Amino acid sequence: MLTYLFRRLLVSLPLLLLIALELNLLVHMVPGDPTAVFIDPRFPPEYIEQIKVSLGLDRPLHVQIAKWFANILQLDFGISFFHQRPVSEMILDALPNTLLLSAVSMVLIFLLGTSVGIYSAVRQYSWKDQVVTVSSLFFYSMPSFWLSLMLILLAAVVAPHWPSSGMVGETIMLKEAAIAEALQMGEAPEVTIGFFERLFDLLQHLLLPAIALGVAPAAGVARYTRSAMLEVVRQDYIRTARAKGVPGRRVIVKHALRNALIPVITLLGLYLPFLISGAVLVETIFAWPGMGRLIVEGVFQRDYPVILGTGLLLAVMVVIGNLVADILYSAVDPRIRYG
Amino acid sequence: MAERDRVWKPDFPADLPGIWQFRRGLPVFGALILCVCLLSLGVLVLVPGRVLESLERAGGFGNLLQGLVVLTSVLGMFHKPWLAVGVLFLAFLAALFGLGKDWLAPQVLVLAPILALYLGRRRPPRPRWGKSQWTLVQERFLHSSLAQVGLAGVVLLYLATFLAPYLAPFDPLAQPDPSGLKLAAPLTHGYLLGADQFSRDVLSRILHGAWISMTIGLFAVLLSASLGMFFGLVAGWFGGWIDGLISRLLIDNLLSIPRLPLLLVFMALFKDAFPPQYRIYVIILILGATGWMGTARLVRGEVLTVRERDFVQAGRALGLSQGTLLFKHVAPNCLAPVLVSATLGIGGTILVEAALSFLSLGVPPPTPSWGAMVNDGRQFLTKAWWISTFPGLVIVVAVTCFNLLGDGLRDALDPKLIGRERRSAPDDEDETEGESSETLEARTAS
């Protein structure tokens, strides 16, 4: 297993290098001046030249790319043109937020998806199954950005004070500011933020984006689970279990479910990169300070180091996701062994 | 005698060729016709003032009526040809009484080819007994009413794309009264689905936006399906280093970059490099070029099994050239999964295009597109919910239709799957077994 892991990682290294090279070429192919976005064109040209020199944009293409690669090996993604901050720092700020959102919606996807799938599979061809199947197809076809807006609209009607943007609520932010001010003055802060207060606030902010992000994949998982379940339920060992007099619910939960979930579990790894890239739109709408927003802002500000850094990270995520899918596959299905 | 018992009895009107045989689909189409009629009646009843006004205006309500006439007559073709002729005659009468000036063009343009096709059709040679493969597929397809709903929806959407100018009650770009009619609510001032912040009619913009989504979806998928077909065929047939080159270098490479961020980066960085009127072609090209990998993998897998079949061996023994074997004999046998994945792919492409438009990286602004409309309504979400809601709803419905159609096609083309779901055949176990070991092999190989 370990050798297999090692070999897989070794094989994917050249792939990642290739992708990094392509990203670089793509970015350098762009017509126009990258400095035009963040420098006022009325500045004297020699000043602009100077900035270009300091950013290394004056050097020939292969030198720039080679330098970028050399820096990447030291985990240095360069400095953002726009924010004048190291990209690695920006990514480290954004990544936990995205992972939190992804993890929550992942739980939603698999809990909701598998339970709905099983529900409709055990009631195959009843009207309930039909309704669930059609509506899951409907949700499956739903664009996440529209669902986000509809959720915001719904929240605005049902619960007008429900937070629909950002990660931290106003009261917490005010308190934080007060604490920071007090600390700066050298006094003991008067207000405190309780752990549960913070958690509750975070969960409030998480709910809408997690639903918006999770519903469409959950519908996909439900469809997948349903067909996997139907395949398993008709097998001989299930009939045997039924014939032996095992109660219906127990047959489904203990005997059928285990085998039906094998293909579903592999989806888990495949959804990893999707959640991070799919979060692009949802994060932008809900102003969630994560990777998706970083990418979108970087793209619109033509912030090349940010684009390159996040792009490479996404590619790494995909490779890891595929690997996780394979490992999970062999973990749940002992017939498959990698050597 | 046994031969006579097996004489083929058609269970549908046998004088209808090809696609017109969707006999079981007729109730669906009948319901659609009814809906269209009710809708037009609703327009007449709900907004009488608007009707009078538009009668005076060229390109107004008259166009809506004409579009409905065309739609009804095209749908009527599915039922009874004389019905369509009758409706056309009614359209003539309506035209005589002056409902608009340039009324003839669309009817003739749309109906002439269809009528010509219908009248000049060649009846398929009737087999004495047994059914052709496509007849079987058709029958299986007609077994599912959901698939027919999907088909009907897709047909309607494509009809709407090129009838949009005649269906839309307003000009999608006109801003009749930007201050007075700004954000007019649905069903007021003749706006069925309300107006946006520039007093443009949401319904008309949705109808015109269908053109963008449907065109991009269709052509991008045509491109990606042919690319995927080509690369998959070549990789699967030749194997060896060619397969390695295509599978590892092209497919794995492109699959490792999530599609949406890639498109985002590309469109954002290069959008000024092309003149705005060419943007739609750039979108089609880039969506097609980034969407073919799944199809290529499917086709490659299919070729790997097909090339071991007896008829290919026979072809080799006859001395057919590689190209003839590959493109004439192997390729048609790999077509079924491509058809399914392309149908599902159109839905996916519509979603991606909408996402790009939503980030204003799609077709440039004055042209209406669904994603961009959802984005327009974002800042007026609580004040004017209709601007975002309706275009998004149409996206969902359109994508659902393509998914229904794709699912129906898959069930119809791959009866193994349906058999597995519906009844337990004795030889099922072998198939599952073979498949799992095959996927196992594929997984360990990669």
For the cut 50, the answer to whether the pLDDT of residue B13 exceeds it is: no
- Inter-chain contact A314–B358, Cβ cutoff 8 Å? no
Report the residue from A31, A32, A299 with minimal CB separation from B265: A299
Cα distance between residue A186 and residue A191, in whole Å: 15
Kindly state whether B403 is in contact with chain A, defined as any CB-CB distance less than 8 angstroms: yes
CATH number at residue A131: 1.10.3720.10
Mean pLDDT is lowest, of A152-161, B13-22, B69-78, B306-315, for B13-22
Give domain status of residue A160, yes or no.
yes
Q: Which domain holds residue A234?
A: 88-332
Q: Give the mean pLDDT of chain B.
A: 70
Domain-embedded: residue A337: no
Q: Which of B272, B354, B421 sits opposite A230 (nearest CB)?
A: B421
Output DSSP code: residue B7.
Answer: -
* B249 contacts in chain A (CB < 8 Å): 18
Q: Which of A80-94, A178-192, B228-242, B347-361 has the lowest mean pLDDT?
A: A178-192
Share of chain B above pLDDT 90, in %: 5
Tell me, yes or no, if B445 comes closer than 8 A to chain A by beta carbon.
no
- A254 CB contacts (<8 Å, ≥6 apart)? A246
Give the total number of structural domains in chain A: 1
Flag whether pLDDT at B427 surpasses 50: no
Which chain A residue shows the shortest CA-CA distance from B374? A146
Residue with tokens 């997690």: A210
Residue of A29, A120, A138, A146 to mutate, interface with B, max B Cβ within 10 Å: A146
Task: Report whether A328 contacts A268 (CB < 8 A).
Answer: yes
**Chain B interface includes A281 (CB < 8 A):** yes
Give dist(CA A208, CA A304) in Å, integer.
Answer: 31
**Looking at residue B50, what is its pLDDT?**
43
Contact B274/A at CB under 8 A:
no
Reported confidence tier of residue B399, pLDDT bands at 50, 70, 90? very high
Model confidence pLDDT, tens digit, residues A59-96: 777 777 888 888 777 777 777 777 778 888 888 888 88
pTM: predicted TM-score of the whole model, two decimal places: 0.77
Helix (H, G, I), strand (E, B) or coil at B195: strand
Q: In whole angstroms, give the CA distance from residue A218 to residue A211.
A: 10
Q: What is the pLDDT of residue A21?
A: 84
| pLDDT over 70 at B40, yes or no | no
- SS3 category, A89: helix
Residues A238-265: tens digit of each pLDDT: 888 888 888 878 888 888 888 888 778 7
Q: Which of A137, A145, A152 sits opposite B358 (nearest CB)?
A: A145
In terms of pLDDT, which residue wins out, B14 or B298? B298
- What is the DSSP code (8-state) at residue A83? T
CB contact under 8 A, A137 and B404: yes
Q: Which of A27, A146, A285 sits opposite B392 (nearest CB)?
A: A146
pLDDT at B67: 56
| For range A222-249, the mean pLDDT | 86
Residues 3-62 of A with CB under 8 A from B: 15-16, 18-19, 22, 26-27, 30-32
Q: How confident is the model at residue B353 (pLDDT cuts 50, 70, 90)?
A: very high
Of A7-16, B194-203, B240-249, B349-358, the range with the highest mean pLDDT is B349-358
Give yes or no for A216 touching B (CB within 8 A): no
CA distance A230 to chain B (A): 7
Using CA atoms, how far apart are residues B157 and B163, in angstroms rounded to an integer?
10
B425 inside 8 A of chain A by CB: no
Residue B258 contacts A where some CB pair is shorter than 8 Å: yes
The answer to whether position A8 is within a domain reads no
Does A155 lie at the interface with B, CB-CB under 8 angstroms? Answer: no
Does residue A56 lie in a domain region?
A: no
pLDDT in tens, A10-43: 878 888 888 888 888 887 777 666 666 666 667 7
Domain assignment present for A318: yes
Q: Is A27 in Cβ contact with B264 (below 8 Å)? A: no
- The DSSP code sequence of A8-51 is HHHHHHHHHHHHHHHHHHHHHH--S-GGGGTS-TTS-HHHHHHH
